[in-house]
Chains A and B, each alone.
Chain A
């Protein structure tokens, strides 16, 4: 049994259930033809059926097929990077793009790739400055501005 498939199948079945329950509240067929609930109701129902097939298929195959083992160390590493990305997006309103992105680069280089702090700071400053020069300065593309005005 592939646990990833079972979990994703259950999640997709739940999503299908949500779609069907929402669509059921909207008009299905009106005097002018199909309403906003028509199409979602159908694809939501198909989603539930197919997710159920995915889950059942895995339970039936449990004796013969083993799922690919998950390397949780690798997944954990990715989740840490992703968490850093989420924090840098959350900080955009306060710190602005340049500072927030610079801190994210510092985190990736020093924390995830274990480069010396001196190298990490140089890369972070270089990337932040490069983005500023290319986007707002050269291409006139707006970037989020923080409380410090940049």
Chain B
């Protein structure tokens, strides 16, 4: 009943003309961002974040969330037509999507991707609506030790799942913690890691790091070569964009599989939509009656990963909104946005800001409908964006990044930091250091240190407070298991190799 009345309230908020417009703007920008290779949702949200400071926070979050899930709809377009994933989560879609396009079923592949995105995206919102309120109520029991343990667990999951190497992910996270610690210590006013620069006394604004590492670093990486990628022809006419009954029938299980897997994986910090899409594709192939056909252009090979990719959004918002713990780069930036607007995501978020939470949930229902309508008939139009020359697109991204950073602080020093973080982002890409742990370390670093120090103040310096409370002890045990199991596996593999 509480959920139903909350949802009604949410629709009253989301259906105001201004919020419908912002939802549409978010979905529209998201689709474009998803289509453009090399410009992902975290970069776009980071760049647009400063422009939302003057907006009502509810409208702003509706728009930014629209970019987040809208990009997932658009991400399939380049996978299917170019064999180039717009974002890492669309990599799997290339396998069958591009083959379908080569077989002359590109329109149907785009249609299936849009329908799967709609079904799974809506499923994700329903689950977000059902899971978030009880989880928030449960989290009200948390105090500083539990928060510290929860953040440790979240970061450990991110480290485990974010990149190919746990070691590199851990190191990236530690660098994020270090950057979060720069500036004046909140408890003692001691300046830390400022290199004698007065400009660093307030620390480094999160926006600079996010834009530098994600947007500028990403564009620099894309500018390594001049060449673009040839595009397959975009089917014209609505009839050519709709899958036939046989194809839809083949996708029945894939829609469900993608929705459930995507949502569950989304809740886990660090797992993200890339892992969700791979697992969902793997399950679909494992249960299929024709697994040998996967990779040759089967529709369920498009529906499963695209569904998982979209349902993940609803899952990823659960820990971010109810616990204040983001699980990915994009949700970390959204969390930072909440903080900049003066809001505090966490267990009290739904109680204290029902308008924002329920408005967001309702807007996601509306947004998914907007995206379905926009994506099926208008895909040929959106695909024209791919014809925009890279030599125009990339400088524009540099420019928006500069404007975004300058609009936060009016500081040329911050712009020089942006150049540094841009190069750092590129170096991380080249050296295979995942960016999400760095961003998460930076977002959570301050809160994590505060929770640890408050816990130790409560216990007069006794570290056992972290393990003497059942909830925090449980979460720390899980953290230890997450970090130790891969080490054991590696040691065991080396042992077996030595025996052989």
List residues of chain A with CB under 8 Å of any chain B CB.
4-5, 8, 12, 15-16, 19, 22, 26-27, 29, 32-36, 38-40, 43-44, 46-47, 50-51, 53-54, 57, 70-71, 74-75, 77-78, 81-82, 85-86, 89-90, 92-93, 97, 101, 104-105, 108-109, 112-115, 123, 127, 131, 135, 139, 141-144
Question: With contacts A26-B192, A82-B419 known, what are 16 further pairs, Cβ within 8 A?
Answer: A4-B431, A19-B193, A22-B192, A33-B457, A34-B452, A39-B453, A43-B177, A47-B175, A47-B178, A50-B170, A90-B416, A109-B391, A112-B391, A115-B391, A123-B391, A127-B396
The reply to whether A47 and B171 contact each other, CB–CB distance below 8 Å, is yes
Q: Contacts of B216 on A, CB cut-off 8 Å?
A: 85
Q: How far apart sit A44 and B223, CA to CA, in the bound complex (Å)?
A: 34
List residues of chain B with CB under 8 Å of any chain A CB.
51, 167-168, 170-171, 174-175, 177-178, 181, 185, 187-188, 190, 192-193, 216, 220-221, 223-226, 389-392, 394-396, 398-399, 402-403, 406-407, 410, 412, 415-416, 418-419, 422-423, 426-427, 430-431, 433, 448-449, 452-454, 456-457, 460-461
Q: Nearest chain B CB to A2's CB is how many angstroms away? A: 9
Q: How far apart sit A57 and B167, CA to CA, in the bound complex (Å)?
A: 11
Q: How far apart sit A81 and B456, CA to CA, in the bound complex (Å)?
A: 48
Residue with the greatest number of chain A CB neighbours at <10 A, chosen from B168, B395, B452: B395
Q: How far apart sit A113 and B224, CA to CA, in the bound complex (Å)?
A: 11
Q: How many pairs of residues, A versus B, come closer than 8 Å at their CB atoms? A: 160
Q: How far apart sit A145 and B186, CA to CA, in the bound complex (Å)?
A: 34
Partner of A5, one of B221, B419, B431: B431
The reply to whether B406 and A114 contact each other, CB–CB distance below 8 Å, is no
Q: How far apart sit A8 and B449, CA to CA, in the bound complex (Å)?
A: 26
Q: Contacts of A82 on B, CB cut-off 8 Å?
A: 220, 419, 422-423, 426
Q: How far apart sit A52 and B193, CA to CA, in the bound complex (Å)?
A: 22
Q: Contacts of A12 on B, CB cut-off 8 Å?
A: 171, 175
Q: How far apart sit A142 and B50, CA to CA, in the bound complex (Å)?
A: 12
Q: Contacts of A89 on B, CB cut-off 8 Å?
A: 402, 412, 415-416, 418-419
